[in-house]
Amino acid sequence: MTIPAISLKDVDISYGDTRVVRDVSFDVALGESFALVGESGSGKSTVLKAIAGLAPEWTGEISVLGKSRGHGMDRAFSENCQMVFQDPYASLHPRKTIDTVLNEPLAIHGIGRRSEKVIEMLAAVGLDRRFRFRFPHQLSGGQRQRVAIARALMLEPRVMLLDEPTSALDVSVQAEILNLLKRLRREQGLTYLMVTHNLPVVSFMCDRMAVMNKGRIVEIAPKTALYDGGFADPYSRELYAASGGNPGAEPDMVAPATKDPA
């Protein structure tokens, strides 16, 4: 058996006295792209935060690339596992230039050849060099999300935790960022754990998904369940129906055109 990239076993997570995630177990294989879906408040971001060391109150076992994670920040850990947040407006420091933002992780980890690395990374995420010395407010939402992805990739992690990385963006910008993430994963052999409420995004980006409801995983399904609605759990089916199902499979759902007389 090969070691999974991410493994959670019987994980419970609390904020103070409130337990918000219960009994969560799943494995993500090396190179796999795995989604966490479910409505807001179901605990998706909390799971990502616990893996990233940003939600310290948990019990159970969490390991990444075979190393179990301790509670709290862990420098060696962050070299392997990085997180990208939903809101590109809130996640970048307003008074730091893009150059500073991308340099920081390298400086903290004592890595050299910084200037070249920054320039390479800007090219990798499709940002022109002239953006290097700009501030976040001088960029569009899509450009900021490219910077956030670039920052996460500076340490060449093998596992990326993506929390709704395109939810704040327009469709056309979302398409560009999703293409970018897909290409980077292919080129660098990355493993993705991605939170989203958008099921078609799962269909494009992921191999499997865990459906969460009220802090628990109710079902783990392959992405093909999105093609035919083949979910086992009633809650998953409800979520699928609320997202419009697969209009390709049932033309009536998108265009309630004149029905044939029976």
Partner 1 sequence: MNETPLLEVEDLRVSFATPNGPVEVVKGLSFTLGREERLGIVGESGSGKSMTGRSILRLIRAPGKQTAKTLRFDGLDLMAQGNRQMRKVRGARISMIMQDPKFSLNPVMTIGEQIAEALRVHERLPRRDLRARVIEMLTSVRINDPGRVARMYPHEVSGGMGQRVMIAMMLIPRPQLLIADEPTSALDVSVQAQVLDLIEELVTGNGMGLILISHDLNLVARYCDRILVMNGGEVVEACAAQRLHEASHPYTRGLLAAQPRMEETRDELPVLDRSGGAGT
* Residue of 28, 29, 32 whose CA lies nearest to 47: 28
Q: In 3-state terms, what secondary structure has residue 136?
A: helix
**Interaction of residue 78 with Mg ion, rule CB under 5 A:** no
Which range in 39-47, 109-117, 232-240, 245-253 contacts ligand ADP by CB under 6 A? 39-47
* Residue of 202, 235, 244 whose CA lies nearest to 39: 235
User: Min. distance of Cβ 86 from partner 1 in angstroms?
Assistant: 13
Q: Which is nearer to partner 1, 7 or 174 (CB)?
A: 174
Q: In 3-state terms, what secondary structure has residue 195?
A: strand
Residue ranges binding partner 1 (CB under 8 A): 39-40, 126-128, 140-143, 170-176, 178-179, 182, 197-201, 203-205, 226-227, 238-239, 241-249, 253-257
- List 33, 46, 91, 191, residue binding ligand ADP (CB under 6 A): 46
Amino acid code (one letter) for 102: L
Q: Which is nearer to partner 1, 72 or 256 (CB)?
A: 256
Phi, psi values for residue 96, rounded to 5°: -110, 135
**Interaction of residue 11 with ligand ADP, rule CB under 6 A:** no
> CB of 190 within 8 A of CB of 16?
no
**Interaction of residue 40 with ligand ADP, rule CB under 6 A:** yes
Query: Own/partner pairs for 117-120, CB < 8 Å, 24+ apart?
Result: 117/154, 118/154
User: Min. distance of Cβ 123 from partner 1 in angstroms?
Assistant: 12
* Residue of 98, 151, 143, 146 whose CA lies nearest to 125: 146
Q: Which of residues 67-86 bind ligand ADP (CB under 6 A)?
A: none
Residues in contact with ligand ADP, counted by CB under 6 A, come to a total of 10
**Interaction of residue 213 with ligand ADP, rule CB under 6 A:** no
- List 7, 45, 91, 103, residue binding Mg ion (CB under 5 A): 45
Q: Is 57 left (phi over 0), alpha (psi -120 to 50) or beta?
A: beta
Q: In 3-state terms, what secondary structure has residue 140?
A: coil
**Interaction of residue 142 with ligand ADP, rule CB under 6 A:** no
The H or E element containing residue 260 is none
**Interaction of residue 33 with Mg ion, rule CB under 5 A:** no
Q: Residue 15: name its binding partner from ligand ADP, Mg ion, partner 1, none (Cβ under 5 to 8 Å by kind).
A: ligand ADP
Residue 233, class by beta-carbon neighbours within 10 Å (0-12 exposed, 13-18 middle, 19+ buried)?
middle
In the complex, the residues that contact Mg ion under the rule CB under 5 A are 45
In the complex, the residues that contact ligand ADP under the rule CB under 6 A are 15, 20, 38, 40-46
